[in-house]
Amino acid sequence: MKKIIYIFIISLFLSCNNERVLQLPEIKSTETTEVLDVSPIYIFYDETQSDSTLFNRNNLIGSTNWLVNVDKRLSLKQIFPHIEYLQKKRKKASMHNNENAKNYFTCNDTSINNIGFVEFTDLNYTNNSIADFITELYVNPSKTHKEYYVNFLTSDSLVIGNQTYIEGLNKMYLIETLRDKIKNDTLKPKIHLTFKQNLSFQDYISFKSEIFKLNKEPVEVSKNEFIY
């Protein structure tokens, strides 16, 4: 069934978009490799457009699962308005159609050499004031969680709290650094994620794939993500 879905996506992509090229981000593994009852959505890299994106949502059906195909070369700044639109539309659609329908980013899962899916249904993306959020985080700390603020600056650097780390191209450094910081916490760790808007979608997915690994441990990852 996985292969059938993969062929369906590519065939629809070719027939409906005049053979436009869309480069999917690569990820080492995904938890979801099969999604049924879908609507494909495309965010192309297109230099002829003012924002270099072409947003094709012609096949969107509110009651289905949405497979969002984003070109990995695009920046978060370029795709943020489109993703924000989809998230708002999903919330409205769920009230009237199918509460169980979900949103997924489509990726190239290298562990299976096939399509994989990264769910983002419940994420809340915002570009509101980060300064206000950080102030609240540290001035009024939670009594039930140990809060961590993680800011992804570039493809090879990040900030944890007020300390900057350079990780080269090895994303595993990220997960190990976080693990080292949270392993002796007495309160349940909660991680808040912030991303610079000039990060590519590929970098965003790569970082998120490492964060996914923490979900298998006693760690909570906030559903609110800041793009600034």
SS (H, E, C) 147-204: EEEEEEEECCEEEECCEEEECCCCCHHHHHHHHHHHCCCCCEEEEEEEECCCCEHHHH
- Map out the domains of the chain as residue ranges: 2-122, 125-227
Choice among 66-70, 127-131, 197-201 with the minimum mean pLDDT:
127-131
pLDDT at 170: 62
pLDDT at 12: 45
pLDDT at 132: 75
Whether the pLDDT of residue 75 is over 60: the answer is yes
pLDDT at 34: 93
Mean predicted confidence (pLDDT) in 80-99: 84
User: CB neighbours of 47 closer than 8 A, spacing ≥ 6?
Assistant: none
Mean predicted confidence (pLDDT) in 73-78: 97
Q: For residues 112 and 22, give the distance between their C-alpha atoms in angstroms, rounded to a whole number.
A: 20
Q: For residues 39 and 31, give the distance between their C-alpha atoms in angstroms, rounded to a whole number.
A: 20
pLDDT tens digits along 191-215: 999 999 999 999 999 988 888 888 7
pLDDT at 10: 47
Whether the pLDDT of residue 226 is over 50: the answer is yes
pLDDT at 155: 84
Whether the pLDDT of residue 150 is over 60: the answer is yes
Both tokens assigned to 87: 């998230």
pLDDT at 3: 42
**pTM of the entire predicted model:** 0.85
Choice among 96-105, 141-150, 161-170, 171-180 with the minimum mean pLDDT:
161-170
Name the most confidently modeled range: 18-22, 29-33, 68-72.
Answer: 68-72
